[in-house]
Amino acid sequence: MHASFFATLLSVLRRGMGPWSALLLPWVLTLGACAKDPAPEQVSVRAEPGSLIFHPDTEPLPIEVVNHGKRPVPVQGFQITGNDWSSFSIVEPINGQMLVPGRPLRFSVRVDAETFRGGTLPSAVQGETRELGPDEFREGEAVLAFRVGEETHEVPLTFEDPSWVTATLLPGLLKVVLLVLGFIMPLASLLLWQERKQSAMMQDRVGPNMARISLGGLTIRLWGLLHIATDGLKMFFKEDFIPRRAHRAMYTLAPIMALVPALVVFAIVPFGDALCYERLLDVLAQADVDQCAAGRGGTPLQIAHIDVGLLFYFAIASLATWGATLAGWASYNKWAILGALRASAQMISYEVAIGLTIVGALLVYGTLEPHALVHAQLDSAWGILLQPVAFVLFFTAAIAETKRAPFDLPEGESEIVGYFIEYSGMRFGLFFLSEFIEIVFVSALVTTLFLGGWALPFEMFGASGFAAPWVAQLFFTLVGLIIGATGVAVWRASKHARFVGATMLGVGVLHVCVALFSLMTGWGSEVPHVVVVLVGMLTWGVKVFVLCWLQLLIRWTLPRFRYDQLMSLGWKGLLPLSLANIALTAIVIYALSAAGTIDPEPTDAEGEAAAAQLGATP
């Protein structure tokens, strides 16, 4: 930011505020001293992605040369050099031309994988000779070079054939551990504490506060968090009772059938874009991240990439009802079997509607793969804006799938009806845990379908960082003020929460300091890849947590539906509205397509007219 700006600002403040401007004088002088004059305009041309990684089954890879400056620059002299230059080629001839800002030069590069297959061949990457089997591939590398004015740019080209273990198995196991042990299980346990505290606040009760640890004269309560540990210990040591006439095999299998599907469906949920292994500290473009998401040089932050991922969700999530049905039938208890029948009938009522609500999103975004669906939202708009009716219908039906109030008929305690009424100990604990895991999954799926997944709103944050430094300053200032104000409110609410309030206040002040740092240095538009990944995962986690909190709020606000009311809601309410939403969405899409408003590949006539050919050949 130019230092003269602060001088102008100071003079304006002096005229407008008079003597009061002296209060702002130290801050303005500090910012003016730290600010630097802008550097002379430089040519800013780069290739996206910054490197190309090929596998034996890789099709020709697209690449763009983008001018991020403000004036056209000549680009020419495209050629491939390096140790394995003969194995790589540019698909289409490229003539030199003037590269206009905002109009990238697009072309593709391919590899001849057969030149790396079998025999005794030197590896350009490893620098050694080794015996290869007839179906093995060696590694290779080359360089795509081109000139921008008098400056030469190079794009590394790499060929590799990673093993299934290193490319798929190990990253998959690490993502399972990260998602299950690092997020799902801790959040599910925390929701148990949150539900108790939240219900106590809504009903003006004290809530959980009796579990404590005494160390000498010091008593530690941790705001009731110790109740989570005491619940686990109680269930672990409680008597494992099995009814005398129960079907022991099915009785034992039922809790597993309730828990496993709730965990398996998380495989399709993306909790971030992609992680590039060797470029964590680099500033990457979206094309680099897309390459890592395809498994070349990185891994998508999603356990399983399934083209029909949403259909996989319906196939697996419906199996959880088997756990409730088996539990009621195997218990040999009439009240348990009533709960099991209610669970089955309830599933039929909402399952049709929840499937039809997805059709609207399929029509709008054209994909059933969750990772691609998030990218489609980033290219157009979030699902909650384009499909608001589908959002309400899906969220309602998804809450019914968790079998929680106001749809908790299969476990109506006041009616002595419950499919797990005969369960105790850890068997009951599995049913209890699976219920909260389903809450987390519903929140994660709604985040993916309707709230843009890991992305911040208004396209303020992308693969390279914030859209502009002022966006970073605005973001950190607003977030810091919100967190700080919440911390002050928590501090004043209770003397037992002063530590939490002080911590939140400190985090808020830290955010404001980051905003000031961005204001003085212009930081924010180019952020290391590892920071982008962490911000995306944190954003996804916050969205999921807010939706979990909303489900708890609904659970302690609305009364339980009667059985006939639930059936009427499913068949006479959700189902017709879902069909109407599909019809309306199809009509709107057809009308926009006929009017030419929707164009999947828009042309840039103005950019074409501005591009001037130089006539140079590669």
| pLDDT for the residue numbered 392 | 95
Helix, coil or strand: residue 186: helix
Q: What is the mean pLDDT of the chain?
A: 85
Comparing CA positions, the residue from 526, 514, 522, 521 lying closest to residue 475 is: 514
CB atoms < 10 A from the CB of 83, how many? 15
pLDDT over 70 (residue 5): no
pLDDT band at 416 (very low <50, low <70, confident <90, very high): confident
Task: Between 35 and 544, name the one with better pLDDT.
Answer: 544
| Cα 329 off chain centre by | 39
Q: What is the pLDDT of residue 150?
A: 84
pLDDT at position 277 is: 93
Which has more confidence, 239 or 546?
546
Q: What is the pLDDT of residue 312?
A: 92
For 320-334, the pLDDT digits (tens) are 888 999 999 999 999
What per-residue confidence (pLDDT) applies to 560?
87
Which region among 117-131, 415-429, 573-587 has the lowest average model confidence (pLDDT)? 117-131
Cα–Cα dist 450/386, whole Å:
9
Q: From residue 291, give the alpha-carbon distance in Å to each of 61, 356, 375.
A: 9, 33, 14
By CB atoms closer than 10 A (0-12, 13-18, 19+), residue 347 is buried
The predicted pLDDT at position 37 comes to: 46
- Predicted confidence band of residue 33 (pLDDT cuts 50, 70, 90): very low
**Confidence check: pLDDT of 600 > 80:** no
Residue in this structure with the two tokens 């962490």, named with its chain if needed: 534
Distant-in-sequence, close-in-space partners of 443: CB < 8 Å, separation ≥ 6: 543, 544, 545, 546, 547, 548, 551
Residue 130 has pLDDT above 70, yes or no: no
The pLDDT score that the predictor gives to residue 430 is: 93
Q: Taking residues 486-492, what's their average pLDDT? A: 90
Q: What is the pLDDT of residue 516?
A: 94
334-365 and 320-330 helices, crossing angle to 10°? 170
The pLDDT assigned to 2 comes to 47
Q: In sequence order, what are the beta bridge partners of 89? A: 110
Residues 37-95: pLDDT tens digits? 444 445 588 999 999 999 999 999 999 999 988 889 999 999 999 989 999 999 988 88
3-state secondary structure of 74: strand
- 146-173 tens-digit pLDDT: 999 889 999 999 999 999 999 999 999 9
Full DSSP string of 556-600: TTSPPPPHHHHHHIIIIIIHHHHHHHHHHHHHHHHHHHHTT---S
354-358, 496-500, 503-507: which range is least confident on average?
496-500
Q: Does pTM top 0.85 for this prediction?
A: yes
